Amino acid sequence: MEKPPRLAPGEGEPFLDVGRYRRLVGKLNYLTVTRPYISFAMTVVSQFLDSPTETYWNAVIRIMKYLKGAPGRGLLYQDRGHNEVVGYADADWAGSKSNRKSTIGYYVFFWRKCNFLEE
């Protein structure tokens, strides 16, 4: 299995069609509603919306290929009468003093069971 590339700011040749990159990343972000398991990958590629490079574009295409290979893997919510969805989120914007990284986490509970957890 091929190891995914590490993405760093300014790495690679500039991607000339910035609008295309932004539109595709925006559409993929919308997909995280039904496919939350791509949330982390979308967080990474969304960091480069200002100045994307060919390397970042290839990462977005890699996400698209993954989704194409798993077409039936989404979430289907059925009405069972009393559906209860509760979510909690917290963020620490630029909390790391060394690199000013932000930390975000959330929990989503369906029927009092934790279904999503991301940090």
Non-local (6+) Cβ contacts of 88 within 8 A are 106, 107
The pLDDT tens digits of the residues spanning 46-102 come to 888 888 999 999 999 999 998 888 777 666 667 777 777 788 887 777 766 667 777
Classified as helix, coil or strand, 59 is helix
State both tokens at 17: 């069609």
- Which residues face 92 on adjacent strands? 103
Q: What angle do CA 56, 60, 64 make, to 5 degrees?
A: 165
**pTM listed for this prediction:** 0.60
The pLDDT tens digits of the residues spanning 6-31 come to 777 777 899 999 999 999 999 998 88
Answer yes or no: are the C-beta atoms of 48 and 15 closer than 8 Å: no
Neighbours of 101 (CB within 10 A): 11
